[in-house]
Amino acid sequence: MAGMFSEDLKRRIREANDLADVIRSYGIELKRAGRNLKACCPFHHEKSASFNVNPEGQYFKCFGCGKGGDVFTFVKDFERVEFPEAVRILAQRASIPIEFDPTVVAKQKKEGDFKSYLYKLNAAAAAFYREMLMGPQGKAAREYLDRRGIDEEMRDTFGLGYAPATGSPLMQRLQAQKAPLRALEVAGLASSREDGSAYDYFRDRVMFPIADSQGRVIGFGGRVLGDGEPKYLNTRETPLFSKGRTIYGLAQARDAIVEARKAAIVEGYTDVIMCHQYGVRNVVACLGTAITPEHVRSLRRLADEVLLLTDSDAAGARASERGIEILFQEDMAAKVVRLPGDDKDPCDFLRSAGKGPFEEALGRGVDLFEYKVKRVCQAQDVSTVRGQAAAAKELMALASISPDANKRAAYRREISALLNLPEKDLAFEKAARAPEAGSAPAAGDEVPPPEHPLAHVEREMLRWIFHQPAWIETATGQLDFTAFVGGPEGAIAMAILAGLADGQLPPDPAKLGLEGYSPSGAVAREVLGTLAAQTDGASGDEQPNPVYSAAQALCIALAEEAPMHVKMKPEEAYGLRVRAVSKERVDFDMEAAKRAEAAARALGDEAALAAAQQKMLDLLMVQKEMKRGKSARSVVA
């Protein structure tokens, strides 16, 4: 992701802000521990110091919660701001005037102008739906809201509306105002049939505008009137709207959440609205029942604790299970709240019991782990050996998700005492993570495992040149660093090439042999700077590319962990790694060629079949030559 700040500006800001000095400026006491500095981690509660700062590499790593990164990452996470704001904070601290890359600014202006237009279309749609609710066509919708007990003030506060049942009046209204059909489709307001004709996306539904944290309408949720399906329909994914990142009611609840330092999460639009109507305003909802890591990270900026309210039916119980895993994974303080009585959701409960009993229920929330223990013990007969084993497995699976090593140990002790099982027999699951579709670990997470055997040997090659940077130019000349297949490995390889092009890598040869100088730290410093730049440009509701975040975590691990075969002569250890990468790369290409051959044969594509077979013959020749001692790249050349 291109950034709005020039590389030179970010480098000057980074070099002007010593990481240890920045950390100390926040009142964190760092103590010398060999080559590094240590402190109790500012990102999680701990008694013994596991937060390490490498002054040479200008990076930090906590071995308790896993967070790590450079000076920009520290300020971003500590201040709970996005990357551009972290740059501004550090620039101001160093009295460096902010300059912008004009080519990037021009590109972002073009993209920003289109997004601004989409905001205007959504605002116009919200006004149209509001108008329809107040008119004759909205009678059934108004009756539905009356039955749900939503008063006029809340209808206005949340901008509720109605999408007419017939025709495409919204599309006609906006097109009459010169809105292009393509823009309406991109905004999620219109859809096209197979014959090319278009129609309003929402029909005969009570409309709930969905706003971002700044109060701008980015999408809609529609509740069908009658027996139609689906009961609730959200705007499809657009440049503005993503269900997995958006929190309903956040703009209205923001001030109350900040004041209380707590956010209550409910399941439905009407639940949020009714809570606000009864004066409980630190309440929001996720769109659908699933909480995502992005939801938690957004709330963490405003709140210290989350209260997870779920409906008292089976679906609500399943939703709470998924939410617990995500909250554990994100190390967010949270409690589960179940409402007493027969009213299964907050809307019904408030209308029948009132604000007082509702707030009392919020105050009786149960800690996540305690709630999980109760659920497991209800499902398993822990008086039997089989029940104990099943309960231990399920509880240890949850404990393994926590990124905080101290908390994991405490949970294991608790499980041991609860089930009367030896603590040594309770094993954590390796690399356990809560499910998160389509994402890679962030910089504060554990290092992701290699995606492929080729990525594994690529990683070991990178580890070698981190610790032996004098070989960087040789390695990049002998291996194609642009062809690394691992996502994080490829990002680091490209960052190394960028450092070479800028003259920042390899490090100054005169320093490599100095006592106390960390070659791997010097390489990590340059690589982290380049990787951090890739996360620049993501504003409030946008997320940086997770591959670069995972690469940051891997970069720190490569610098901290020495390579194997250190007793070999450098040229022998280097040659071993080159041969491993070359062999795996040829094997990787051969697998791809075989798949291409099979596909071409199935399709009857003779030209593609011949090309695939020729590729396989070429690779067989490369394999033979490699056995004679030549590298894959020299053979291909």
**Tell me, what's the pLDDT at 180?**
93
Residues 114 and 200 in one domain: yes
Q: Which residue has the higher pLDDT, 446 or 553?
A: 553
Domain that holds residue 270: 247-371
Domain-embedded: residue 316: yes
Residues 144 and 223 in one domain: yes
**Tell me, what's the pLDDT at 553?**
87
Give me 208's structure tokens: 């709930």
The residue-averaged pLDDT of 146-161 equals 97
Residues 367 and 384 in one domain: no
Q: pLDDT tens across 194-213, in order?
A: 787 899 999 999 999 999 98
Residues 6+ apart with CB under 8 A from 297: 330
Name the residue with tokens 């300020």.
75
pLDDT band at 190 (very low <50, low <70, confident <90, very high): very high
Taking residue 207's Cβ as centre, other Cβ atoms within 10 Å add up to: 24
E strands, 150-261, are: 161-163, 190-192, 198-200, 205-211, 217-224, 232-234, 247-248
SS3 track for 371-438? HHHHHHHHHCCCCCHHHHHHHHHHHHHHHHHCCCHHHHHHHHHHHHHHHCCCHHHCCCCCCCCCCCCC
Residues 366 and 251 in one domain: yes
Secondary structure of residue 175 in the 3-state scheme: helix
Residue 515 has pLDDT above 90, yes or no: no
E strands, 133-173, are: 161-163
Q: Are 219 and 235 in contact (CB under 8 A)?
A: yes
CATH code for position 222: 3.90.980.10
**Tell me, what's the pLDDT at 548?**
80
Residues 163 and 44 in one domain: no
Tally of CA atoms within 13 A in the half-sphere of 447 that contains its CB = 22
Give me 392's structure tokens: 């231990």
E strands, 106-216, are: 161-163, 190-192, 198-200, 205-211
Across the chain, what does the average pLDDT equal? 85
Cα–Cα distances in angstroms (integers) from residue 522 to residues 456, 511, 560, in the given order? 23, 10, 12
Percentage of the chain modeled with pLDDT above 90: 41
Residues 113 and 150 in one domain: yes
Q: Are 264 and 279 in contact (CB under 8 A)?
A: no
Residues 118 and 163 in one domain: yes
**Least confident residue range of 439-453, 555-569, 582-596:** 439-453
Residues 419 and 338 in one domain: no
Length of the chain: 637
In the listed set 59, 93, 127, which residue is the last one of a domain according to the structure?
93
Task: Quote the DSSP letter at residue 471.
Answer: G
Domain-embedded: residue 252: yes
Strand order across the 305-309 sheet: 247-248, 283-286, 262-266, 305-309, 334-337, 366-367
Residues 6+ apart with CB under 8 A from 20: 30, 37, 53, 55
Residue 5 has pLDDT above 50, yes or no: yes
Give me 609's structure tokens: 């079949």
Domain-embedded: residue 444: no
Cα–Cα distance measured from residue 221 to residue 208, given in angstroms and rounded to the nearest whole number: 5
pLDDT band at 4 (very low <50, low <70, confident <90, very high): low
Q: Looking at the 3D structure of the chain, how many domains does it have?
A: 5
pTM surpassing 0.75? no
Which residue(s) pair with 233 in the sheet? 222
Residues 6+ apart with CB under 8 A from 165: 137, 203, 204, 225
Q: pLDDT tens across 320-376, in order?
A: 777 898 898 888 999 999 888 876 789 999 999 999 999 999 999 999 999 999 999
pLDDT band at 539 (very low <50, low <70, confident <90, very high): very low
40: left (phi over 0), alpha (psi -120 to 50) or beta: beta
Alpha-helix residue ranges (DSSP H) falling in 301-367: 314-329, 346-353, 355-363
Cα–Cα distance measured from residue 164 to residue 366, given in angstroms and rounded to the nearest whole number: 44
Residues 251 and 363 in one domain: yes
Residues 394 and 361 in one domain: no
CATH code for position 31: 3.90.580.10
Cα–Cα distances in angstroms (integers) from residue 280 to residues 70, 228, 342, 568, in the given order? 40, 32, 21, 67
Q: Are 550 and 448 in contact (CB under 8 A)?
A: yes
Q: pLDDT tens across 457-510, in order?
A: 999 999 989 988 989 999 998 898 988 988 899 999 989 988 888 788 888 766
